[in-house]
């Protein structure tokens, strides 16, 4: 409060009058301040659908709407918030404009609204537009860059393309749910998009969280160096192998596709993830990555448990890594960087609740008679975890880091 009063006292009357303008500009410079709260809201709505359905409040089975809101809403809002903030800074390129921010937010919210109403084709078409615009906006900054993005971010590009192709296939083949194109589209959207984004960002985030040195020489130049290109090619090969695994599964070769994906993930994680260094949030990211590999391994060994195994990936993998990275972003941009390496009790609560939610969802397919109870329990635990995280951290999106902190 004292800092706030000091800042206000230093302002001239003209600056005080113009105070709303920097706020809008700040949202463009740091889109996470808009998209993280939006993503959390859409995720809560997507999970709440199960509670409302089994409580008899809604009659529309939420399977598709839940999945779309979690990926196209929850996951993608956090991706846009992170990349929209970090991307231009890493490339030393112009930040997003108000019009660009408005287009992305509008398209994604409209897509979520259509999915919520059961109009999934319309929702997928709008989501395709959202991702297409986002790719174009990032592409402009790549052209205008003064520095290069981290080489592993090529996986982030593949992630966005995967989501775009996946949503487009789902929109075209909506009435052919068992066709190969529909199954490929489903895997590209629901798995390829979040998976490739997370493993693309992880090698960049983990050294920051562990206070390890990074190869600035690879990014502190506009021209891609040979080392940059070699690392980008390696990452792209892993990404394409993972995408190929989804196609192979859709063609009926489930075992081959599953083990190809596990092998690609193990190779990439083993080669790219730092083994030294310890920090609380760094270990949380490691836990989430381990859950992703474990879930896919369970799917490969016991294909009959596929849905439960994928929720190991979704809940303790994708969701937990997203919450962890978002925690680092919000703390870092609200003047609380000193908390990066401390144990955060609220985050331990979030991890515990998500783990319990994962076990409950996994058990649902093993106990058909109690399936509804386990689904509702998993949903409630996820919702509590999201609320704990949101209550503790979302106020930080309104706090601007003081200059010099």
What is the C-alpha separation between 354 and 195, in angstroms, rounded?
18
pLDDT at 388 over 80: yes
Q: What is the mean pLDDT of residues 145-166?
A: 95
Q: Rounded to a whole number, what is the distance in angstroms from the first to the last CA of the chain?
A: 16
Q: How far is CA 346 from CA 3, 308, 323, 377, 393, in A?
A: 26, 26, 12, 20, 10
Cα angle 15, 17, 18 (rounded to 5 degrees) comes to: 65
pLDDT at 5 over 50: no
**pLDDT class of 402 with cuts at 50, 70, 90:** low
Residue showing tokens 């990555």: 289
Q: Map residue 99 onto helix, strand or coil.
A: helix
**pLDDT class of 312 with cuts at 50, 70, 90:** very high
Position with higher pLDDT, 317 vs 6: 317
- Contact predicate 324/339, CB 8 Å: no
Q: What is the pLDDT of residues 232-243, one digit of tens each?
A: 999 999 999 999
* Domains: count for the chain: 1
What is the C-alpha separation between 110 and 115, in angstroms, rounded?
9
Q: What is the mean pLDDT of residues 376-395?
A: 97
Q: What is the pLDDT of residue 184?
A: 98
**pLDDT class of 405 with cuts at 50, 70, 90:** very low
Q: What is the pLDDT of residues 287-300, one digit of tens each?
A: 999 999 999 999 99
Q: What is the pLDDT of residues 88-127, one digit of tens each?
A: 999 999 999 999 999 999 999 999 999 999 999 999 999 9
What is the model's pTM?
0.91
pLDDT at 3 over 80: no
What is the C-alpha separation between 61 and 371, in angstroms, rounded?
15
- Contact predicate 115/62, CB 8 Å: no
Tell me whether residue 84 is in a domain.
yes
All residues at 6 or more sequence positions from 240 whose CB lies less than 8 Å from its CB, including other chains: 158
Tell me whether residue 299 is in a domain.
no
Q: What is the pLDDT of residue 148?
A: 87
Q: What is the mean pLDDT of residues 286-314?
A: 96
Least confident segment among 11-15, 214-218, 244-248, 277-281 = 11-15
- The DSSP secondary structure of 165-205, one letter per residue, reads HHHHHHHHTTT-TTSHHHHHHHHIIIIIHHHHHHHHHHHHH
Question: Chain-wide mean pLDDT for the chain?
Answer: 90
Tell me whether residue 386 is in a domain.
no
Q: What is the pLDDT of residue 174?
A: 92
Tell me whether residue 139 is in a domain.
yes
Least confident segment among 52-61, 195-204, 244-253, 267-276 = 267-276
Q: How far is CA 318 from CA 38, 104, 112, 183, 259, in A?
A: 17, 22, 19, 20, 20
Residue showing tokens 């798995």: 191
Residue 67 lies in domain:
32-149
Q: What is the pLDDT of residue 31?
A: 95
Q: What is the pLDDT of residue 10?
A: 37
Q: What is the mean pLDDT of residues 73-87?
A: 96
């Amino acid at each position: 409060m004292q800092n706030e009063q000091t800042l206000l006292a230093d302002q001239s009357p003209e600056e005080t009058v113009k105070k709303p303008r920097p706020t809008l500009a700040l949202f463009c410079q740091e889109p996470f301040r808009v998209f993280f709260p939006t993503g959390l809201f859409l995720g809560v709505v997507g999970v709440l659908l199960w509670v409302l359905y089994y409580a008899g409040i809604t009659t529309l089975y939420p399977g598709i709407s839940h999945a779309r809101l979690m990926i196209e809403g929850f996951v993608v809002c956090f991706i846009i918030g992170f990349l929209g903030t970090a991307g231009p800074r890493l490339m030393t390129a112009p930040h997003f404009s108000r019009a660009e921010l408005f287009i992305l937010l509008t398209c994604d919210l409209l897509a979520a609204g259509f999915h919520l109403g059961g109009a999934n084709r319309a929702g997928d078409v709008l989501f395709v537009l959202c991702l297409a615009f986002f790719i174009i906006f990032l592409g402009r900054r790549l052209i205008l860059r003064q520095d290069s993005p981290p080489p592993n971010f090529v996986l982030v590009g593949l992630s966005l393309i995967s989501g775009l192709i996946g949503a487009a296939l789902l929109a075209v083949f909506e009435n052919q749910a068992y066709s190969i194109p529909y199954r490929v589209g489903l895997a590209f959207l629901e798995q390829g998009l979040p998976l490739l984004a997370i493993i693309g960002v992880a090698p960049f985030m983990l050294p920051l969280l562990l206070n390890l040195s990074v190869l600035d020489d690879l990014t502190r130049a506009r021209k891609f160096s040979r080392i940059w290109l070699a690392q980008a090619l390696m990452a792209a090969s892993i990404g394409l192998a993972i995408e190929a695994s989804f196609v192979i599964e859709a063609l009926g070769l489930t075992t081959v596709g599953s083990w190809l994906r596990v092998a690609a993930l193990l190779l990439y994680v083993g080669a790219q993830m730092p083994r030294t260094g310890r920090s609380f949030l760094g270990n949380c990211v490691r836990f989430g990555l381990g859950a992703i590999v474990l879930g896919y391994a369970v799917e490969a060994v016991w294909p009959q448990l596929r849905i439960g195994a994928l929720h190991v990936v979704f809940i303790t993998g994708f969701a937990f890594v997203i919450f962890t990275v978002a925690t680092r972003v919000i703390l870092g941009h609200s003047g609380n960087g000193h908390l990066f390496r401390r144990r955060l009790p609220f985050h331990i609560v979030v991890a515990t609740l998500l783990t319990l939610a994962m076990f409950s969802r996994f058990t649902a397919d093993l106990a058909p008679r109690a399936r509804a109870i386990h689904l509702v329990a998993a949903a409630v635990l996820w919702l509590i975890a999201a609320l704990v995280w949101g209550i503790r951290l979302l106020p930080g999106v309104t706090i601007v880091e003081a200059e010099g902190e």
